[in-house]
Amino acid sequence: MSKTIATARGFSLITTLFLLVVVAGLAGYLVNLSISQQYSTALTLSALRGRHAALTGLEWVAYRINNISSSCPTVPTSMTIEGFSVSLTSCTESSVTEGITTYSLFDVTVSAERGVFGDADYVNHAIRATLRG
């Protein structure tokens, strides 16, 4: 007597298709994650460049106050630094007396902007500082 053993046909095909779908989904997720990380890095670099452009504008104002004239530059003053529109948005002078010493303090706000508000790559960075003249 010989017995015929019934084999399970098609089971390995279902398993293979299931694994293929899972691996493809995982690969798609990893590609999406990689793109998000690259975009995040690009935005971080843009923000840092905007900060440094604003700091450069602040240094320009400090130089003007300390070396050229002892007063605020004309507001608004604008310049372009590395693709950023840097502008002096406010500058107010106040006189301070400590004992017999009198000096001026300048409250300065400088902003650096690139792009159009609402765009994905829009960058705006403002710095406010008090400078002694």
**The pLDDT value given to residue 36:** 86
Token code pair at residue 56? 């450069």
* Identity of the amino acid at 44: T
Residue with the larger pLDDT of the pair 50 and 3: 50
User: Over 60: is that where the pLDDT of 47 sits?
Assistant: yes
pLDDT tens digits along 48-98: 999 999 999 999 999 998 888 888 888 778 899 888 999 999 999 999 999
What is the model's pTM? 0.73
* Exposure b/e, 15-52, CB count within 10 A at least 16 = b: eeeeeeeeeeeeeeeeeeeeeeeeeeeeeeebeebbbe
pLDDT tens digits along 14-41: 888 899 999 999 999 999 988 888 888 8
32/46 Cα distance (integer angstroms):
21
